[in-house]
Amino acid sequence: MSQLAGASGARPMDRLRDALPRIVLSPSVAIVAVFVYGFILFTIYLSFTNSRILPDYELVGWRNYHNLFRIRAWNTAVVNLAIFGLLYIAICCCLGLFLAILLDQRIRAEGFIRTIYLYPMALSFIVTGVAWKWFLNPGIGLQAVVRGWGFENFSFTWITDGKMAIYTIVIAAVWQTSGFVMAMFLAGLRGIDNEMLKAAQIDGASSFVLYRRIVIPQLRPAFMSAFVVLAHMAIKSYDLVIALTGGGPGTATELPATFMYSYTFTRNQMGIGAASAVIMLMTIAAIIVPYLWSELREKK
């Protein structure tokens, strides 16, 4: 809606009133301009300096980027983010959708079950990391328990296996957020026109066809919201890795966020840390910006 028409700028009060929406929005814009985009510029600048323990403003050209790509852990981190991000988002969406569909079948005690599915989101990984670590630990966790039941050959040693450890991160991350995604899909399902379901029933669609061809395609907005939330979580996954594996075994579960932290703060190579942050931001932008663009433009 546009502002009320009228002779604009006739009197100062009117002019003020016309400008009010912009004035209200401006603190947020100013804050974000400085604290997001200003900081991004600052980081870009840092990535070209020889900053170590604290920012240093002497430029060193592309050296940090050059070094960054020679560091093996960075490659591991990027590959891991791809694996983790894809699996995490995909599994969360599938599981969330699956559970939402099940919960949408007029379940008794739905509210109770929903709360159980949702609660992990309320806990920080400082809290649950230790529990997960124990559970995944072959010596004391799941493997030990199942073997205790008499299945001596049962083996679940992913967390100790450099090739599989990243998947344990996925398991724990899915545990944390899939309930939230479920709630989003449930909301989406509840929003679907009831008559449409009747129409499909009369058309003879089985439940499976109904969901696959009619209901799920209509959950696109829910998918999109879930994607934004999940992508943002995947990119920021830090506590999780630190609590669960500390990036190990070896560097097997290093993610860009842990890499960045480690180089900036633990290894006192702030320049390389900044370079990794810039690369990471560019990657995020490459994925998110087209999405935002299409979503926002479409609404006009």
Partner 1 sequence: MMPGVSMDNPVAARSRGFSPGRIVLYLILGLFCLYYLLPLYVMAVNSVKPLSEITSGGMMSLPDEWTLAPWRAAWSQAQVGVEATGLRPYFMNSILMVVPAVALSTIMGALNGYVLTKWAFRGSTVLFGLLLFGCFIPFQMVLIPMARMLGLMGLAGSVAGLVFVHVVYGIGFSTLYFRNYYAAFPTELVRAAQIDGAGFFRIFWRILLPSSGPIAVVCIIWQFTNIWNDFLFGASFSDFDSQPMTVALNNLVQSSTGVREYNVHFAGAIMAALPTLLVYIVAGRFFVRGLMAGSVKG
Partner 2 sequence: MRGFSRILGAAALAATAGMASAGDVEVLHWWTSGGEAAALNVLREDLQKQGIGWQDMPVAGGGGTQAMTVLRARVTAGNPPTAVQMLGFDITDWAREGALANLNDIAAKNGWDSVVPAALQKFSKFDGQWVAVPVNVHSTNWVWANKAIMDKLGISQPETWDEFVAALQAAKDAGYVALAHGGQAWQEATIFDAVAMSTGGPDFYKAAFIDLDEDALGSDTMKTVFDRMATLRGFVDDNFSGRDWNLATAMVINGEAAFQLMGDWAKGEFLNAGKQPGKDFLCYRFPGTQNQVTFNSDQFAMFRQGDKVSPEQAALAEAILSPGFQIAFNKVKGSVPARTDLDVSELDACGQQGYKEFKAAAASGNLYGSFAHGHANPAAVKNAMYDVITAHFNGEYDSATAVKELVTAVQLAR
Partner 3 sequence: MGFLDITRATKSYGALKVLHETDISVEEGEFLVLVGPSGCGKSTLLNMIAGLEEVTSGDIAIRGRSMKGVKPADRNIAMVFQSYALYPNMSVRGNISFGMEMHGIARPERERRIAEVAELLQIGQLLDRKPGQLSGGQRQRVAMGRALVREPDVFLFDEPLSNLDAKLRVDMRTEIKKLHQKLGTTIIYVTHDQIEALTLSTRIAVMYDGHVQQLGTPREIYDNPANMFVAGFMGSPSMNLFPARVVAGRDGPAAEIVLAGGGSAQLPFAQGRMTDQVGREIVLGIRPEAITDRDGADRNSRAVHEVEALVEITEPAGSDTFVATQIGGRDVTGRLRADVQVAAGQRFSFAFNMEKAVAFDPRTERRIG
Distance of closest approach, residue 175 Cβ to partner 1, in angstroms: 7
Q: Which is nearer to partner 3, 217 or 290 (CB)?
A: 217
- Only segment of 58-66, 86-94, 160-168, 266-274 that touches partner 1 (CB under 8 A): 266-274
Which residues lie below 8 Å from residue 278, measured CB to CB, with a gap of 6+?
A: 43, 44, 47
- Return the one option of partner 2, partner 3, partner 1, none that residue 196 interacts with (CB less than 5 to 8 A, by type): partner 3
| Per-residue contact string for residues 165-204; x = within reach of partner 1 by CB under 8 A | ----------x---x---xxxxxx-xx--x--xx--x---
**Max CA pair span of the chain:** 86
Nearest to 247 by CA among 3, 112, 77, 132: 77
- Return the one option of partner 3, partner 2, partner 1, none that residue 282 interacts with (CB less than 5 to 8 A, by type): none
- CB-CB contact of 199 with 214 (8 Å): no
Q: Using CB under 8 A, pick the residue from 178, 237, 251, 258 that binds partner 2.
A: 251
What CA dihedral angle connects 61, 44, 76 and 247, to 10 degrees?
120
- CB-CB contact of 247 with 262 (8 Å): yes
Q: Using CB under 8 A, pick the residue from 8, 10, 20, 86 that binds partner 1.
A: 20
CA distance 133 to 160: 11
Distance of closest approach, residue 113 Cβ to partner 1, in angstroms: 6
Tokens linked to 234:
């995947």
Query: Does 235 contact partner 1 by CB under 8 A?
Result: yes
> What residue type is 27 in one-letter code?
P
Q: Using CB under 8 A, pick the residue from 15, 22, 66, 213 that binds partner 1.
A: 22
- CB-CB contact of 191 with 182 (8 Å): no
**In the complex, which residues of this chain contact partner 3 (CB under 8 A)?**
193, 195-196, 198-206, 209, 213-214, 217-218, 220
Q: Which is nearer to partner 1, 76 or 114 (CB)?
A: 114
Nearest to 259 by CA among 40, 91, 78: 78
- Return the one option of partner 1, partner 3, partner 2, none that residue 157 interacts with (CB less than 5 to 8 A, by type): partner 2
CA distance 242 to 76: 16
- CB-CB contact of 91 with 170 (8 Å): yes
CA distance 93 to 182: 8
- Return the one option of partner 1, partner 2, partner 3, none that residue 271 interacts with (CB less than 5 to 8 A, by type): none
Q: Using CB under 8 A, pick the residue from 91, 159, 252, 277 that binds partner 1.
A: 277
Phi, psi (deg, nearest 5) at residue 278: -65, -45
Residues near partner 2, by CB under 8 A? 51-57, 67, 70-73, 133, 137-140, 157, 159-160, 162, 165, 242, 244-252, 261-262, 265-269
